[in-house]
Amino acid sequence: MKKKLLAMLSCAALVAASVTGCGGSKPAETAAAPAASEAAADTKADEAAPSGDVKIALITMDSIDQHWVTLNEGAQKAAAELGVSVTFMSPNTKDDAQQIECVNNAVAGGYQAIIVAANGPDAISSALKEAASSGVKIVYVDSPANVDAEATFSTDNEAAGKTAGEEMIKGLEAAGITSGKIGIVNVNAATDSTVKREAGFRSAFEGKDFELMETQYGEGDAAKSQTIAENYITQGVVGIFGCNEGSTTGTGNAIKASGKSDIIGVGFDKSDAILNLIDDGYLLCTMAQNPDVMGEEGVKAAVKAVNGESLGGKVTDTGVSAIKAGGSAAAASSNEAVTASQEWKIALITMDSIDQHWVTLNEGAQEAAKELGVSVTFMSPNTKDDAQQIECVNNAVAGNYQAIIVAANGPDAISSALKEAASSGVKIVYVDSPANVDAEATFSTDNEAAGKTAGEEMIKALEAAGTTSGKIGIVNVNAATDSTVKREAGFRSAFEGKDFELMETQYGEGDAAKSQTIAENYITQGVVGIFGCNEGSTTGTGNAIKASGKSDIVGVGFDKSDAIMNLINDGYLLCTMAQNPDVMGKEGVKAAVKALEGETLGGAVQDTGVSVLTK
């Protein structure tokens, strides 16, 4: 009924577009989105308060798909909190001309900002350029265009597509299938988000014996996509990938109609229809985005931009989860309602209690604890030490805490203590860094992907300065901490095929002073760049470059703190990979409460996103 109403509103509004734009505003109906990503730290409601009446237009690809409906709900939630007006003025079908008309109507209607999911990188670019030239602030959600914007909130679609491919391969190989044809149902060849999903999906099959067939396009329409998928099935495919909600629904319906339960269907986006197809066994899984987060953070960013704040065109990954049949869906859908039946006692144990990363993670945890009416005790050691972290775990068990949220020092460093805790009935949830012990759920950064991004940022800066070879130093925490080991692996992978020499890694235990000494030693060896793998390593690296006076050394780091941001703004670091520890803390508490209430979370792993912060 909600979809029909939105469609009617959109159609009516298109007729009277000169007055109301392409759609009507819709009141907030849910209050479910997690405070997402780096934007959550930087766009909190109290920091985005409007300086006057602010009119914002929200223009998505259509107004029908549940993905866009949910995105609008997140936007309306933020609008209600901030006291601004957000008009959902999207066409009722995906059409370039109608979306251009919506943009033009927003400008004519005096809207100060447009939040837009562009049909393609160039499809509506001219209209957006004209809007920007007239002073309208542009913020992208889900799919950007090739026009500069204040900020972008979207899924890392290529990485998510690769995950979809890996899930399909696992499903096929588990069934003993190591070769065969794979069909791909995409929207079109122009929509940036789905093109990247397909690219990521195809990359997962590199070196495998499967044959990826020519992509077919269904314009995101479930019926058209079903026809395409049925045609693939007649050609004997062993798997089909749907690149968006309509493509996925059509794929699942085609597999259902065929009666061939051995075909592996994997999709993208989340809707009731898709979840039913998963639960009934016609789809293996779907990559669930967080459209509510995109909408909410898009509005906060738009208000900041209208108020004159420079957001620097920052791109924020709003995360994705693989939802399978049963309990995994609940874990992945962290924005679903959580209810605590009693004041559960939860222990939060991070690597230390000093680094700003862990302090921020605790702040997110405490916010969720207050909302849910549970008790979260931050009982971390004051320095990174395995023995002290083990003692914290044991103290939590002895203190009758029912759940432990933990950022493990390493995959095995505290495993014995965690196994004993789990065997006594304590629920384990990981944040940031897991151990090799089964847990209810994990909320962390895709550290390898983020590390690769850090390497790519360094390479771009070096090549821009005319430097195409030279020594690169790496300051890590230790050789055991899972998160930083993966960051280093990703960083190193970015340099494959390049002429740079990556030196032997040195370890500073995350201590800024020790890391500075290591970085200074690298500088005496003539490095052209240094990578710091965590907050302390990055601070030490920046301080060493500052002390050396060598402004041509490119420093890239990880995590965000006041010290790091000052070093970036002063030119001693190029950038840092900013995680979202507040999101980890919030979602960790929600997951712990769900587990304590008897919900099965299936060990789901959720990527909480990362952003590149520059000067």
Tens of pLDDT, residue by residue over 204-228, are: 999 999 999 999 999 999 999 999 9
User: Using 50, 70 and 90 to split pLDDT, how confident is the model at 290?
Assistant: confident
**What's the rounded Cα separation, in Å, for the pair 98 and 124?**
10
- Give me the amino acid identity at 137: K
Structural tokens at position 591 = 């997951």
Task: Quote the pLDDT of residue 340.
Answer: 87
Task: Quote the pLDDT of residue 39.
Answer: 35
Task: Quote the pLDDT of residue 92.
Answer: 85
**Phi, psi (rounded to 5 degrees) for 45:** -55, -40
**What's the rounded Cα separation, in Å, for the pair 509 and 488?**
14
Q: What is the mean pLDDT of residues 254-273?
A: 92
**What's the rounded Cα separation, in Å, for the pair 280 and 451?**
38
User: Using 50, 70 and 90 to split pLDDT, how confident is the model at 324?
Assistant: confident
Q: Which helix (H) or strand (E) holds 86?
A: strand 85-88
The residue to which tokens 């959902």 are assigned: 88
Tens of pLDDT, residue by residue over 27-39, are: 333 223 333 333 3
Q: Residue 54: how many CB atoms within 10 A of its CB?
A: 22
**What's the rounded Cα separation, in Å, for the pair 105 and 399?**
61
- Is 0.85 topped by the overall pTM? no
pLDDT of 475 higher than 70: yes
Tens of pLDDT, residue by residue over 104-114, are: 999 999 999 99
Q: Which helix (H) or strand (E) holds 389?
A: helix 386-398
User: Using 50, 70 and 90 to split pLDDT, how confident is the model at 354?
Assistant: confident
Tens of pLDDT, residue by residue over 51-92, are: 558 999 999 999 888 889 999 999 999 999 999 999 999 998
Percent of the chain with pLDDT over 90: 69
Spell out where 533-572 has E strands: 554-558
HEC profile for 288-341?
Answer: ECCHHHHHHHHHHHHHHHHCCCCCCCEEEECCCEEEECCCHHHHHCCCCCCCCC
For the chain, domains (ranges, CATH) are 2-155+291-323 (3.40.50.2300), 157-288 (3.40.50.2300), 338-445+580-614 (3.40.50.2300), 447-578 (3.40.50.2300)
pLDDT of 600 higher than 90: no
Task: Quote the pLDDT of residue 488.
Answer: 97
The count of C-alpha atoms lying within 13 angstroms of the C-alpha of 153, restricted to the half-sphere facing its C-beta, is: 33
Task: Quote the pLDDT of residue 593.
Answer: 96
